[in-house]
């Protein structure tokens, strides 16, 4: 069995290789600005982590088109079950950098109240963006279960779950795909094949000719897409979403891309990624490619690009100031966030903890170090 062809609409030089989808100029520019905001958020967070002001971050450089292209095919009533390299989906649908930066600092306005790692966002508005999990693949069966519930309720909503190539080796991937195929659940599986699962290359990950080809075994279509091509990502995801809404079941999309940075801020990719490979993929940078396309449509200039990035950095920097000045969660919230009525034995333990904090001072937030 041969691997599926790779869908490409935009060549690296921005020219069209296929039929051009009809997308309004405002929508094209919104996709562009969102990709730039993802990169600006990354750049600022790297500096914050290196200076010890936050403990951890996940780089997205090179995979922005996967996130934004897929997100642009979803309605705000749909649900996203993301991986930790997907916050561009939330930005596209109206989550602000300030909303996200509260999580990076784990403050009292963080939706998880400081009880999640940085870059583990969760939002209920303006789109359902389910909490990111650290363990690989756990979001996949969760998405399938939610999608099956949507089907049982007669809803026309869709769940999209995104994950990296390394997650295809998890039980969650295989059980999720199997159940989705059997139930014809309205779910879209988006595998971002970005070259490496931390330091494990795709050649060491699977013997299959592609990840998309795995869909055949579970009774669903498998589509392989140029993940650095926003238009191709949008087209493939839109087709899968529409198919799911019609009640025709799930689709597996493999987005072929490359992360041009570390797995996280704790990783040194120069230890395992050949320099030549990074240089090769840099020529396929999804933002550069989309700029060339927009320029051909007379929607982009160098001045617009510089201004857009500067505005994005200013927006993220302003978000840092707000999040950094927001107080940490109160100590009592470890009880009040869990119990409507605190049991007496926990009330006594809580009082002892409060007394200790009063004598010794509140627990600090750490020194910016993180073990992963």
| Positions marked active-site | 259, 263, 272
Determine the Cα–Cα distance for residues 258 and 193; give it in Å rounded to an integer: 7
162 in Cβ contact with 86 (< 8 Å): yes
Closest CA to 139 of 161, 121, 158: 161
Determine the Cα–Cα distance for residues 38 and 23; give it in Å rounded to an integer: 21
242-249 LR contacts (CB < 8 Å, sep 24+)? 244/147, 244/158, 244/186, 244/187, 244/188, 245/156, 245/158, 245/186, 247/151, 247/184, 247/186, 248/184, 249/180, 249/181, 249/184, 249/185, 249/186, 249/219, 249/220
Determine the Cα–Cα distance for residues 31 and 66; give it in Å rounded to an integer: 11
Q: From the CA atom positions of the chain, what is the Rg in Å?
A: 21
Determine the Cα–Cα distance for residues 240 and 248; give it in Å rounded to an integer: 9
146 in Cβ contact with 79 (< 8 Å): yes
Cα 33-190-216 angle, rounded to 5 deg = 150
Collapsing DSSP to helix, strand or coil, 192 comes out as strand
The alpha-helical segments, DSSP class H, found in 154-229 are 171-183, 202-205
Determine the Cα–Cα distance for residues 331 and 321; give it in Å rounded to an integer: 23
368 in Cβ contact with 54 (< 8 Å): yes
Which run of H or E residues covers position 189? strand 187-193
Determine the Cα–Cα distance for residues 309 and 298; give it in Å rounded to an integer: 19
């Amino acid at each position: 069995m041969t691997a599926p062809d790779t869908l490409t609409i935009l060549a690296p030089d921005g020219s069209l290789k296929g039929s051009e989808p009809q997308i309004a100029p405002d929508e094209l520019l919104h996709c562009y600005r969102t990709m730039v905001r993802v990169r600006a958020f990354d750049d600022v967070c790297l500096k914050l982590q290196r200076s010890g002001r936050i403990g951890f971050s996940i780089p997205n450089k090179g995979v922005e088109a996967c996130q934004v292209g897929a997100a642009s095919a979803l309605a705000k009533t749909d649900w996203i079950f993301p991986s930790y390299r997907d916050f561009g989906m939330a930005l596209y649908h109206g989550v602000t950098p300030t909303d996200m930066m509260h999580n990076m600092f784990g403050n009292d306005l963080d939706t998880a109240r400081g009880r999640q790692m940085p870059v583990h966002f969760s939002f209920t508005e303006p789109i359902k963006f389910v909490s990111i999990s650290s363990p690989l693949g756990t979001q996949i069966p969760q998405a399938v279960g939610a999608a099956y519930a949507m089907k049982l309720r007669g809803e026309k909503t869709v769940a999209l779950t995104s994950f990296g190539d390394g997650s295809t080796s998890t039980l969650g991937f295989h059980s999720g795909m199997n159940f989705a195929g059997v139930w014809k659940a309205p779910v879209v599986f988006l595998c971002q094949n970005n070259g490496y699962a931390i330091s494990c290359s795709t050649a060491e990950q699977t013997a299959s000719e592609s990840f998309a080809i795995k869909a055949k075994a579970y009774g669903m279509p498998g589509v392989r897409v140029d993940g650095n091509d926003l238009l191709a990502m949008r087209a493939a995801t839109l087709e899968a979403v529409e198919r799911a809404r019609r009640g025709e079941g799930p689709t597996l999309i493999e987005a072929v891309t490359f992360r041009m940075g570390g797995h996280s801020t704790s990783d040194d990719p120069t230890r395992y990624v050949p320099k030549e490979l990074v240089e090769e993929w840099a020529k396929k940078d999804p933002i550069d490619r989309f700029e060339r396309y927009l320029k051909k449509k007379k929607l982009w200039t160098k001045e617009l690009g510089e201004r857009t990035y500067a505005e994005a950095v200013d927006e993220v920097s302003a978000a840092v100031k707000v999040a950094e000045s927001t107080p940490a969660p109160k100590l009592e919230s470890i009880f009040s966030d869990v119990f409507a009525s605190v049991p007496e034995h926990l009330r006594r333990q809580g009082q002892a903890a409060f007394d200790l904090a009063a004598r010794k001072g509140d627990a600090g937030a750490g020194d910016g170090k993180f073990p992963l």
